[in-house]
Chains A and B, each alone.
Chain A
Amino acid sequence: MRLALAVFALLAAAPWLGFGEGHSLTLLARGMILGIAALGLWLLVGGAGLVSLGHAAMLGIGAYAVVVLDDARITDALVVVPVALAAAAIFALLTGAVALRTTGVNFIMITIAFGQMAFFTASSLALYGGDDGYTLYGRNTIGGARWLQDRLVFHYTCLALLIACFLLLRMLLASRFGRVLRAAKESPLRVEAIGFNPYPYRLLAYVVAGMMAALAGVLLANATEFVAPSYLAWQRSGELLFVVILGGLGGPQGAVVGALALVLVEELLSDLTEHWRLIMGPLLVLAVLFLPRGIAGGLAGVLRRG
């Protein structure tokens, strides 16, 4: 919790700590948006023990909701966000109902399958640019006001939503729902023995995770003002899963830390050399080998000792 507070405080102060110009704010916004999507995935992986490799599909649904409505000249966030969330919830409910019949490796595979279906659907939407993607007319308005055009407002909007999702997640995990979920992760057999059926709990977690990702998708579309099917590619899901594991499964702060770390490291390395992935790849391998509890776990250890 202390770590999360520190990170949020830093993010809030960032515009006055030399991160004021456009480029670095965009970067932080990307990190926070990734963080929101990762928080949802954290609920699945860290909370319920369900490893999904199709989470980018949910993000894509959020982004494409913006696109579809933008094409119909509906650009107000008060409409767009509920539509995006509802669309993702329905998609998650339908796919989750099937996917959750499997566990372990097969769950990974079936989520990839649904992710790929969404990806191919998106690339076949010729009306919305198909493979080439779609450039928005502009950012969404809020109640008719063009607030999101302002970088600072957008920064704090992302931050507020990130904190809201974080708090919601903590609340969920502490509730009866969260306890059943975590118990089912440890031992589904025992949970069933004491009279709970884990299935509806997992399904609800899957839907909530999907909705968070869709929210991130809406924000991402607004941040870049451009949406392409590559948002739904399985590599994107891999990246999200990464963020979560890299950050650490000890608590939801891991997702936030992981997302920011990934975006910042990417940026640092890409300044250094065009072939930054040559360094990123081995870094990830090293992180897995030597940071079994993730960055957040490692940082928390340092904080405690210090």
Chain B
Amino acid sequence: MQALNGLQYGVLLFLVAAGLTLVFGVMDFINLAHGVQYMLGAYLGVSLAAATGSFWWGLLLALPAALACGLVLEWLVFRHLYRRDHLAQVLATFGVILFLNQLVKAVWGSAPLHMPIPALLDGGIEIMLGLRYPVYRIAILAAGLATAAALWLLIERTRAGALVRAGASNAPMLSALGVDTGRLFMLVFACGAMLAGFAGVMAAPILSVEPGMGDTVLILAFVVIVIGGIGSIRGAFLAALIVGLVETLGRSLLPDLLRLVMTPGPARQAGAALGSMLVYLAMALILAVRPRGLFPARAG
């Protein structure tokens, strides 16, 4: 049960991290604002679903809306930063975070919003004897896996994907070969924004939709891409599942484990703290042993 939850969380993380790792890997651009794009997706999904009265329309409309937001941001801000150093990028995208978080607060208010689970996916099914699991979470799992497969096909089997991979391994060379990297960057960026938005909409019914929801996800997504190796979709996928599992299992099992050796009160606290820390411990360990991540994409 918790393992399934972990997988499902991991899949959501993958959707966010995939865009991030591509933007990072291909353009060498640190986009701290990726998390707020995920948040924006969730908000757009909620309000569009409320406006149209249907989850599906909300999802369908939120995707192009998230894409459009990504393009506008790229055109307004990010495009001017590709040639600047990482520091400038971190700074400017932090500014975008401040702006969008506040914008969301101004438009939708700071109270968490709730999105109803679509009727078709409501309820639970029996996955094992006496163990019911919500259909919606399974749907997320399926949607995430399908997206991962589609992305894999796109990147490994198409010309556009070959360009993206080439960009991740050596962007200046690609540009020298006559590819318009500016346009490639824009496309990658837009896709990343849409994936983040998609994750946001999918997460909306099970997590609370509130300002700042993107920040937690952002940090975890960064953990994912660093563990997975920057620019690598395969790495991001595996790392996302690992992080999702570690995070969920750590939080739920550690307090129980610690109870074996400690009194219940402190065990609960220490377990919760350790559970939240586990991912970062794992990352520190992996970076200490393999400073370039598990599956580095960049050559040399």
Contact = CB atoms under 8 A, between A and B. Distances in A.
Interface of A: 45, 51, 53, 98, 101-102, 104-106, 108-110, 112-114, 116-117, 120-121, 123-124, 126, 130, 234-235, 238, 241-242, 245-246, 275-278, 280-285, 287-289, 292
**A interface majority secondary structure:** helix
B277 interface: yes
22 contacts: A53-B90, A105-B24, A105-B30, A106-B287, A112-B219, A113-B223, A117-B281, A120-B277, A124-B269, A124-B270, A238-B94, A242-B91, A245-B88, A246-B91, A275-B103, A278-B99, A281-B95, A281-B99, A281-B102, A283-B95, A288-B81, A292-B84
A126 B95 contact: no
**B interface majority secondary structure:** helix
| CB-CB nearest 5 A-B residue pairs | A281-B99, A284-B95, A124-B273, A277-B102, A281-B98
A53 B98 CA distance: 17
B95 A51 contact: no
Interface string B121-139: 0000000000000000000
Contacts of B270: 124
Nearest to B101: A277
Given A277-B98, A281-B100, A288-B95, A114 B280 contact: yes
B35 to A, nearest CB: 11
B261 interface: no
B291 interface: yes
A120 B276 contact: yes
B275 to A, nearest CB: 9
A112 B280 CA distance: 9
B194 interface: no
A241 B32 CA distance: 13
Given A113-B223, A116-B280, A124-B269, A98 B288 contact: yes
B38 interface: no
B239 interface: no
Interface string B284-297: 10011001100000
Contacts of B291: 101-102, 106
A285 B96 contact: yes
A51 B87 contact: yes
Nearest to A124: B273
B74 interface: no
Contact of A113 (B95, B215, B230, B283): B283
A246 to B, nearest CB: 7
A272 to B, nearest CB: 13
B166 interface: no
A291 B178 CA distance: 33
